[in-house]
Amino acid sequence: MSEQAQVTDSGPRPIVSFLKLDPKPHLVAVRCRCGAVYPDVKRVACSKCGATAPFEVVPLSNRGTVHVFSVVHQSFPGIKTPYITAIIDLPEGATVRANLVDFSPEEAERDPHKVFGIPVEMVTSVVAKDREGHDVVGFAYRPAKN
Ligand SMILES: [Zn+2]
């Protein structure tokens, strides 16, 4: 077809292998025969039942709920603090760790019950450039907009 339809090597790169950018950003996981789901496409064995790869790769929902969170006040040089890091429960049974954005860390500390269990949706953004100059895309969650 047209040259624009060709796959090129110049596009953005996901920050982790289980973040897929096409056709729309989403996470993927491997699912074991026992039902355990791991957001990690390179997993070699199931820690629940001991089965070994290959596993089925399944897409994960872009929506989940905040299981638990923590406000980070000290981080690496160059990382702006405070920010909220959270464990997000996804409907497929997987959990992922990511930052919670669009929510005030001060308010989260003042009233944690405004954060626990709230519905969230995944967002992506360019977080860095790699050595070849490609955009590196990371993911985070924000309170879901209905
Ligand atoms: Zn298993």
pTM recorded for the entire structure: 0.88
Rounded to the nearest angstrom, the distance between the alpha carbon of 17 and the centre of ligand 1 is 21
pLDDT tens digits, 84-136 = 999 999 999 999 999 999 999 999 999 999 999 999 999 999 999 999 999 99
- The amino acid occupying position 62 is N
Rounded to the nearest angstrom, the distance between the alpha carbon of 34 and the centre of ligand 1 is 4
The encoded tokens of residue 99 equal: 């930052």
Rounded to the nearest angstrom, the distance between the alpha carbon of 98 and the centre of ligand 1 is 24
pLDDT given at position 8: 54
| 3-class state of residue 12 by DSSP | coil
pLDDT tens digits, 11-29 = 899 999 999 998 899 999 9
Rounded to the nearest angstrom, the distance between the alpha carbon of 54 and the centre of ligand 1 is 11
Of 3-7, 12-16, 54-58, 66-70, the poorest mean pLDDT is in: 3-7
Q: Parse the chain into domains and list their residue ranges.
A: 13-143
What stretch of H or E contains 59? strand 56-59
Rounded to the nearest angstrom, the distance between the alpha carbon of 45 and the centre of ligand 1 is 8
Which letter, b or e, does each residue of 97-119 get, where b requires 16 or more Cβ atoms within 10 Å of its Cβ? ebbbeebebeebeeeeeebeebe
Q: pLDDT band for position 6 (50/70/90)?
A: very low
Q: Cα(58)–Cα(126) distance, rounded to whole angstroms?
A: 24
pLDDT given at position 1: 43
Rounded to the nearest angstrom, the distance between the alpha carbon of 41 and the centre of ligand 1 is 14
pLDDT at 45 over 70: yes
Rounded to the nearest angstrom, the distance between the alpha carbon of 29 and the centre of ligand 1 is 13
Rounded to the nearest angstrom, the distance between the alpha carbon of 18 and the centre of ligand 1 is 19
Rounded to the nearest angstrom, the distance between the alpha carbon of 85 and the centre of ligand 1 is 28
